[in-house]
A and B are shown apart, each in its own frame.
Chain A
Amino acid sequence: EVVLTQFPGTLSLSPGERATLSCRASQSISSTHLVWYQQKPGQAPRLLIYGAYSRATGIPDRFSGSGSGTDFTLTISRLEPEDFAVYYCQQYSSLLLTFGGGTKVEIK
């Protein structure tokens, strides 16, 4: 089973700042199998990035994904007030799916 570790656990930033979130896999995974979600309090997660790099429909271009192998990154170029939330990475391989523990992006 692939374990995903996200860091930092919490990121305290101000609106307009750049956010860099990391997701590390316990073994190499295909980039096509790495996904990012955003979750706000009381809501279901929302798909942000799939295939490590591709933005989902309706996702603004301030969100970008990168990485390969075991290290992946979600970058929010300039934080908007609505971006303060928890972000999860997720992978699938061999018909098994796992989520990372999440990174909370909070207002500083």
Chain B
Amino acid sequence: QVQLQESGPRLVKPSETLSLTCAVSGDSITSYYWNWIRQPPGKGLEWIGFTHHSGATSYNPSLKSRVTTSVDTSKNQFSLRLSSVTAADTAVYYCAKWAGSPEAFDIWGQGTMVAVSS
């Protein structure tokens, strides 16, 4: 059974870069598409983007200019970088596996709360 675990700083200053990592256990990261999703406090889910070990990526158009994702096959983990953050980027950040079958987010990390504040 695949398990995902997010890690990274819980507090980021405005205008700086938010960096998170998702460790994958139970399967190879060379399978599937790996995603980031966020949820501001009390609000709904927002897809940030996906990354694949081949280098393929796709990002939410509203965040595309600030988002970078990557895969580290040697560590079986993938990462998110979100630049020029503001208070609006305060959210719980989830990593999630997009399965080929079923075509859905079938495995999620527990989520990590990141606050943007000086």
- Which of A11-19, A66-74, A75-83, A94-102 interfaces with chain B? A94-102
Residues of B within 8 A of A56 (CB): 102, 104, 106
Q: Is the CB of A47 closer than 8 A to any CB of chain B?
A: yes
Chain A count of residues within 8 A CB distance of the other chain: 25
Chain B count of residues within 8 A CB distance of the other chain: 20
Q: Which residues between 25 and 61 of chain A lie within 8 Å of chain B, taking CB atoms?
A: 32-33, 35, 37, 39, 44-47, 50-51, 54, 56
Output the residue of B46, B50, B96, B105 with the most chain A CB within 10 A. B105
Closest residue on chain A to residue B109 by CB atoms: A44
Known: A35-B104, A50-B103, A56-B102. A102 touches B60 (CB 8 A): no
Q: How far is the CB of B32 from chain A (nearest CB, A)?
A: 14
Q: How far is the CA of A91 from the CA of B94 in the complex (A)?
A: 18
Q: Which residues between 58 and 96 of chain B lie within 8 Å of chain A, taking CB atoms?
A: 58, 60-61, 94, 96
Residues of B within 8 A of A35 (CB): 103-105
Q: Is the interface of A mostly helix, strand, loop or mixed?
A: strand
Known: A44-B94, A44-B111. A100 touches B104 (CB 8 A): no
Q: Is the CB of B110 closer than 8 A to any CB of chain A?
A: yes
A99 and B45 within 8 A (CB): yes
B58 and A50 within 8 A (CB): no
Known: A95-B58, A96-B58, A96-B61. A45 touches B45 (CB 8 A): yes
B105 and A47 within 8 A (CB): yes
A51 and B44 within 8 A (CB): no
For this complex, 10 residue pairs linking A to B, each with C-beta atoms less than 8 Å apart, are A32-B103, A35-B103, A35-B104, A44-B110, A47-B106, A50-B103, A54-B102, A99-B47, A100-B44, A102-B44
Residues of B at the A interface (CB closer than 8 Å) are 35, 44-47, 50, 58, 60-61, 94, 96, 102-106, 108-111
